[in-house]
Amino acid sequence: MTMELFLQELEKNLHGLKSEERQNALAYYREYLEEAGDAVEQALENLGSPQSVAQRILSESAGISLDSEMMAYLEHPENSGSPDARDILFGVSVILLTSPFWLTAVFIWLMIVFTLAMIALTFAASAILAPVQGIVFLTNHLLGDGLWNIGAGLLCAGVTMLIWKPCLNGIVKSSQFSWKQTVHVCKKLFRKENHI
């Protein structure tokens, strides 16, 4: 790559900078490369690609420090496994074509979560409301109905204490499993090395 081509590419990649900052950066690198003289190719190799230099300039301008993985990507984006437009189109197509299956799975998962939550809430509500109704019955001299409702409320309270934790664990575990599987599938779909 020649010095002029490097500077042209660098200018294209610095479009996010203000005009004055862009001109200062280009002047700095032009001077640096001109001072290299006959060793300009070695200086270009030391700098890296125009894209990586531009990213360094943009990050310094924004006050962001790039980690080594990001710098490796900027130096050699072809080795990063990042998706290009074709890979993204492929992944979106697969998601759309398989939507009847995964939407059904999501709907079933939501129904399971809703059912577990409603079971626990129903028993908890019964544990509170049944004894209240039983006390009302007792004050109206309905001894049998009052004791029955108080007993049913105590039974619901016991069942609530037994099932609330398994219901909550079921909701949390199924949510975590669903999320991990979704992330795993999306990573597989959008990874460059998985497509030919």
Taking residues 152-162, report their average pLDDT: 90
Report how far residue 157's alpha carbon sits from residue 151's, in angstroms, rounded to the nearest whole number.
Answer: 10
pLDDT band at 195 (very low <50, low <70, confident <90, very high): very low
Report yes or no: 74 and 66 within 8 Å, Cβ to Cβ: yes
Q: What is the percent of the chain with per-residue pLDDT over 90, rounded to a whole number?
A: 5
Region of poorest pLDDT, from 51-65, 114-128, 157-171: 51-65
Report the pLDDT value the prediction gives residue 72, as an integer from 0 to 100: 53
| Predicted pLDDT of residue 78 | 52
- Residue-wise pLDDT for 73-92, tens only, equals 445 555 445 556 677 777 77
Exposure string of 153-163, with b = 16+ CB inside 10 Å and e = fewer, is: beebbebbeeb
**Whether 3 contacts 40, CB under 8 Å:** yes
Q: Where are the beta strands (DSSP E) in 104-170?
A: none
Q: Which of 79, 81, 51 is nearest to 66 (CA)?
A: 51
168: pLDDT confidence band, cut at 50, 70 and 90?
confident
Where do we find the tokens 């619901």? 156
